[in-house]
Structure 1
Amino acid sequence: MDGTRGKRIKLRENDCDKVGTLTEIVENILLRFPVKSISEFNAVCKQWCKVIRTPSFTKKQLSLSKAEPAFILYPYVDDDTDLYLVSADGILTEKVSLPRCEDLSFLSMICSYNGLVCFTNCPWRPNPETTKVEIRICNPATRKIHLLPEGSSSEEEPTVGVAFGPSDYKVFRIFHPKSDSEDTLPECEVYSPSTGVWRGIGSVPKCPMKSHNIFVVGKVYWFLPSEDDHTIAGSILSVDMEENFQVIELPEEVTAHAFLVNLDAHLCLVAIYDDDLIMDIWLLKYKNETEYYWERICSDYIPYSTMENTDAAAGLKNEIFIITSEHYFLYDIGRRTWIELDFVENFQRNCPVIFSYTESLLPCNGVMGPEI
């Protein structure tokens, strides 16, 4: 009997070890699936659901997904709120329809990072003295959307930017408070999902040209308008997660066709010079926290005429995705080669935007479940 009891206890210990090993095996298998499939696996069994809903699984999935980044394209058409995913080699892979966005007008995609994108739109408002902007954080892979609460009243359309932390994000909203003085500076308020409310942080030196922004290594970047021509970028405004603002001067005179891109975790400036048919790519480098300089890493001829407008640009590792009024191009910086893309689906576009994109399970409300 004693030998039998000892054997039974040993078997139970082995069974426990097998359960632990099986959980790891299940996790490793699930991590290899697309996010859409992983979301569906939640309903398969309780064990899978527990594994998928842990923060550690979300972080591991994001780490694996970063090895295969892509592009996310929004054509910006009033009656179409669909997004398009494009692989790193320029192949249109998926069309994504966001839920509860079908009836929204003037929807703009302003940034993308770690699988989360931010949309803004200006709904109709009966009071013409103020401008309301709705802000939504969306995850195209999970089809989840988080609508932020309304911010402070603004006389002009506010500018929005998003800074993304390891487990949270901050939304910066730069607005124009009502004032009788022409010298009143724009003010900024910050929203964090951990608090769920807007918090004022004071005035800012200047107001960006538009909400289109790039987040790179802890900082949000917007274009600031030139003093001579407000339709052309004159400098850059940045803010970090600690809410410190900085104005960055541009390397040279920049045309209207200038774009900020995230190129392999570096802020780059892509400038198209129509008269010379040349594209310059500049890399921002920091000597320390406040001192910086620009390095031109590439200068090459563009393969299209000045009759075409350059509408959008995005960076991905060693490539630049260019959208013109007539064409789509991928430019390889190392090889100095242009590839014209021919998408199977020819969708209409008005003012397209494109960003680098990494599929993830990150929640739109910034709240991840507990570990198990």
Structure 2
Amino acid sequence: MKQMRVDGDTPYLPEEIIRNILKRLPVKSLIRFQCVCKHWKNLIQTPCFVADHLHHSTHQNPSLLFSCDYSREPLRLLDCEMQVREVQNTPLIDSFSSVRILGSSNGLLCLAAEQSDLSPSALLLWNPAIREVRQLPRTKTTIYVEDSLTVGFGFSPILNDYKIVRTHAESGYAISGVEVYSLSTNSWRKIEFGNLGAVRLLPYIVSANGSIFWHAFNLKKEVGEDSFEIIVSFDIATELFTLIPWPALCCHTWSGISRLTVYEDKLAMLYSHVTEDFQYYLIDLWVWEEQVDSSGNRWNWSKKYASSPYPCMLFPEPIWRNEIVGVDYGISMPPLVCVEHPCETGLAMLSEEPELGLHLFNVATNEIKRFDIHRHGVGSVVFNYVESLVSVGKILIEEPSS
């Protein structure tokens, strides 16, 4: 493109071209480039540019984040180039005895941090890319039994706001109260929880399209009954809870391992289970989508993918770049893979004794790849993550042009 000049001064590129170039750069470079000139600094800090950079990073540079619960081990990122690097903590995070990731959204991590066994966990919001961290105010209800708490974290594009949902339960783990934190107001408030009085939420959550989802148990049902396992949805904008039925799996989750995830921006479930002859393992992908069935139900589960038989038990983790992530913690069946010709099974064996064996099942091609994440073993938790410029401070809103 032809460069332009103003009054014979140094040639420059139109701002649209500059924005298009800058949004493709990593956050570390953008932080440095804010020192180039005041104009670039103001541009990089605008809400519109932050949103453009996040959109590009989400689709072009997604990462996987590896964490060990309640550990001082550093977080590790696996990027699109299949390179692993450590994430540097901030002094505030290092001041806690242990930290656990509760959720990940748009480059922000929601953390539960503990200083001692006698004090309740503090909640933090952290953007590792720009090294911003914020300790949230205490909730209105102080509970010391952490097993009775569940926390959800997500973003509402309708409100342009991040919210944290904190539930607490009485004996039997039935929900007895719900509080919601809003980043835009930096405050908590209690909300109604409707028909969740007989529901027990499990601690692992996913968020997508302005909603947070939990795997849950219906305490009015017996183990093994239909509708004992359900999914609870929380709409971040309306703050309403909805119950979603469990997919019709070939067998129940206590004979396999299930994991909520997101596939093509839709709620999905991964299910790892053994074959009938107990020789191999399979991973199935179910997606909750809008489609009217013969009974007139508008939303239904549909099975989108079934893996080829696999020789070891894999724990399903998030879907990353159209690939199902399975983690091998060493729970293996008798070796069934041809070592001399691993390509015949679609496997790329990169290590004989992995600390954490990571397996990627491509949903489109059914190709399987395997590699290792060193110094991460049993207890590792995997999250989708993307580097962003999103601040943990005040939510900024783009002023309308006059």
Distance 1:53 1:144, change over 3 A: same
C-alpha distance 70-46 of structure 1, shift in aligned 2 (>3 A): same
- TM-score under structure 2 normalisation? 0.76
Paired position in structure 2 for 1:334: 364
Which letter does structure 1 place at the counterpart of 2:169? H
Counterpart of 2:184 in structure 1 is 194
The 1:164/1:77 distance shift into structure 2, 3 A limit, reads: closer
Instruction: Give the counterpart of 2:112 among 120, 141, 155.
Output: 120
Taking the aligned partners of 1:269 and 1:101, their CA distance within structure 2 comes to 32
Contact 1:311 1:351 survives alignment (8 Å): no
Q: What is the SS of the residue equivalent to 1:107?
A: strand
Paired residue for 2:214?
222
* Aligned equivalents of 1:24, 1:78: Cα separation in 2: 45
What does residue range 173-322 of structure 1 map to in structure 2 within 5 Å? 173-176=166-169, 185-203=175-193, 205=196, 206-210=199-203, 212-225=204-217, 227=219, 228=222, 234-241=229-236, 242-251=238-247, 252=249, 253-255=252-254, 257-274=257-274, 276=276, 277-287=281-291, 291-306=298-313, 310-322=314-326
Letter in 2 for 1:172: V
- Once the two structures are superposed, residues 298-342 of structure 1 have per-residue CA deviations (whole angstroms, 9 ceiling, x without a partner) of 122453324xxx445011242111112142100111222211113
Matched, 1:352 2:380: yes
Measure, in 1, the Cα distance between the counterparts of 2:273 and 2:114: 32
Give the alignment of 1:45-56 within 5 angstroms.
45-56=37-48
Indicate the larger mover: 16-25 or 188-197.
16-25
Separation of aligned partners in 1, 2:362 and 2:271: 16
> Counterpart amino acid of 2:245?
E
- Kindly provide the amino acid, as one letter, of the partner of residue 152 in structure 2: G
Equivalent-residue separation in structure 2 for 1:70 and 1:304 (angstroms): 29
> What does residue range 22-61 of structure 1 map to in structure 2 within 5 Å?
22-61=14-53
Match of 2:97 among 105, 109, 121: 105
Letter matched to residue 209 of structure 2: V
C-alpha distance 185-51 of structure 1, shift in aligned 2 (>3 A) = closer
The CA distance in 1 between the partners of 2:8 and 2:106, in whole Å, is: 36
- Asked if the contact 1:235/1:249 (under 8 Å) is kept, the reply is yes
Contact 1:105 1:121 (8 Å CA) reproduced: yes
For residue 334 of structure 1, give the secondary structure of its aligned residue in structure 2.
coil
Residue 174 of structure 1, CA deviation: 0.6
Q: Partners of 1:163 and 1:224 in 2: how far apart? A: 18
Q: Structure 1: which 5+ residue stretches go unaligned? A: 1-12
Task: Provide the rounded CA distance (Å) in 2 between the counterparts of 1:24 and 1:302.
Answer: 50
The structure-2 alpha-carbon separation of the partners of 1:43 and 1:229, relative to structure 1 and needing over 3 Å to count, comes to farther
Q: Which residue of 2 aligns with 1:4?
A: none
Deviation of the 1:122 alpha carbon = 4.0
- Tell me: CA distance 1:33–1:137, structure 2 relative to 1, closer, same or farther (3 Å): same
CA contact (8 A) 1:269 1:283 kept: yes
State the partner residue of 2:328: 324
Structure 2 equivalent of residue 7 of structure 1: none
What amino acid does structure 1 have at the position aligned with 2:322? N
Does the CA-based 8 Å contact 2:102-2:112 persist in structure 1? yes
| Alpha-carbon RMSD | 3.0
Match of 1:67 among 59, 67, 80: 59
Bigger relative contact order (CA 8 A; separation at least 6): 1
Task: Give the Cα–Cα distance (whole angstroms) in 2 for the partners of residues 122 and 188 of structure 1.
Answer: 21
CA separation of 1:15 and 1:67: change in aligned 2, threshold 3 A: farther
How far apart, CA to CA, are the structure 1 residues paired with 2:84 and 2:242?
A: 38
1:50, distance to aligned residue in structure 2 (A):
1.1
Query: 2:9 & 2:162 partners in 1: Cα distance?
Result: 38
Structure 2: how far apart are the matches of 1:239 and 1:269?
17
Runs of 4+ more than 6 Å apart: 16-20, 181-184
What TM-score do the two structures reach when normalised by structure 1?
Answer: 0.82
Q: 1:299 to 1:29 in 2, by over 3 A?
A: closer
Contact 2:105 2:154 in 1 (8 A): no
The answer (yes or no) to whether the contact 2:358–2:372 under 8 Å persists in 1 is yes
Percent of counterpart pairs with the same letter?
25
Match of 2:133 in 1: 145
For 1:184 and 1:213, how far apart are their aligned partners in 2?
A: 18
CA displacement at 1:226 relative to structure 2: 6.2
CA contact (8 A) 1:272 1:278 kept: yes
Distance 1:184 1:358 in 2: 34
